[in-house]
Amino acid sequence: MPEPLQIGVVVFPKVTQLDLTGPVQVFSSVPGARVHLIWKRIEPVPSDSVLVLTPTITFADCPQLDVICVPGGGGSDDMVNDEEMLDFLRRQAGAAKYITSVCTGSLVLGAAG
């Protein structure tokens, strides 16, 4: 049995929930895939709306991802200067098959190089 496809979507304060939940809905339909919501800590993270999101895994515990997705939102402004976020993305990107973003998440990927 092949290893499951590891898909990670990063969560951060002031993320636009639709930028996150849209890809999560699609990724969750991939047969056999494991979808992770990733943040520094396992604690509630406020979105840019009334929704509060709970990560499923931390940066430190995250397996090597096959697919990385960085959603957008007002919090992207802070994430482009967040070294912990940028270091996580750099570490994961080396072996990931696909590195993706939604909207201003591309700016975070750009900041990570």
pTM of the model: 0.94
The superfamily (CATH) of domain 6-112 is Class I glutamine amidotransferase (GATase) domain (3.40.50.880)
Render pLDDT for 7-30 as a digit per residue (tens, 0 to 9): 999 999 999 999 999 999 999 999
The answer to whether residue 1 scores a pLDDT higher than 80 is no
108 phi/psi in degrees, rounded to 5: -65, -45
Q: Where are the alpha helices (DSSP H) in the chain?
A: 17-27, 76-79, 83-93, 105-112
Active-site annotation holder among 5, 93, 103, 111 = 103
Catalytic status, residue 62: no
